[in-house]
Structure 1
Amino acid sequence: MGSSTVDEWLYNGGPYELIVLHFLLGVACYMGREWELSFRLGMRPWIAVAYSAPVAAATAVFLIYPIGQGSFSDGVAGVFGGSLFSAMHGSLVTSSLIRETTENESANEGYRFGQEEETYNIVAAHGYFGRLIFQYASFNNSRSLHFFLAAWPVVGIWFTALGISTMAFNLNGFNFNQSVVDSQGRVINTWADIINRANLGMEVMHERNAHNFPLDLAAVEVPSIEG
């Protein structure tokens, strides 16, 4: 919003807008740069697609979250599950490396960067895991496995951003009462109104049914706090 003085700019949250909006613009442009680089190198754009998840989450948290109150729970399963399976896969890979060197040399010396040959035995690793848990919990195809490990956290973070963005605009939490008016009764919009709406949104979230307007907010008179 426009401000005529520095004090008004500071009061209206100018520094936050300046930093956050430039940050979001920067990370969005970086995502475009990742896509452009992969395109020029003839690669598939999965790096940019994966990076879109934290970009969406950052946009939801830093831009949408100050307006309302959202929920992070939608992405917990995706992030935790992806981390768990990635750690599990890493331990299986470490345990089934194909040694190309002697015992006196590091196993890392036997590999070339970008080599086509596999560096570990996926059949042995996930065959063991399939017997440890159950057969269909393991992967025999390396491409399918790594796609799953990448897609699960990314989709989880996408849903996190979606949950924050949708619940932030909970219209049942708005009361449209302005906090500052001038002598003529005209509204002076401030960030206090945004915070007020966020507080109402949080109170709605705590109700049993998020579609019901809280009774204490719907009351014409302010309820007494005396016993």
Structure 2
Amino acid sequence: RLYIGWFGVLMIPTLLTATSVFIIAFVAAPPVDIDGIREPVAGSLLYGNNIISGAIIPSSAAIGIHFYPIWEAASLDEWLYNGGPYELIVLHFLLGVCCYIGREWELSYRLGMRPWISVAFTAPVAAASAVFLVYPIGQGSFSDGMPLGISGTFNFMLVFQAEHNILMHPFHQLGVAGVFGGSLFSAMHGSLVTSSLIRETTENESANNGYKFGQEEETYNIVAAHGYFGRLI
């Protein structure tokens, strides 16, 4: 079974819309005048790109950060030429993943769990919001957002470094240290816990059968885990 919940009611249509438009645009979208200088850039497969070079080209600089739904353009051709699909995909995607956070919290709440799974997922959502929404707003145009493609992502990173020298920014350095440190501690903690589980079942049963959610008894031997790790460092 799949939990939907109230947040899922909004998440499902927004993510389906973003995914559908992404696939169609990645395959068949016409070139986009990203710089607003009448020099369209092709990003779709049907216009000469492959999986590596293909991308959803960001909305035109002529649009800026204006809200640009289909009905704001004089025609569908104009909307495509100005990169309308990029805004549609990004805004639906961000709304959808925010609803995914809410859905994680909602399911945790209903099961009597603590909310930290949803809190952890806010980290990648914050990163996506930074490159797709916050930075374009700061620059004054969605044309400065990250293209939705492999080469486009690397191009965005190189241009960002050239213009802002982000690798020397102390907050970025702290963020990198936090990501690597977090992955290290997660690996250490998870491996120590699973390596020191207190067996409650026979060899012929799943270890999961020995535990039930919310039990008061400890599930692993923290003394053994710390003793093992203490002898390593």
The TM-score with structure 1 as length reference comes to: 0.48
| Bigger Rg, structure 1 or 2 | 1
Higher relative contact order (CA 8 A, sep 6+): 1
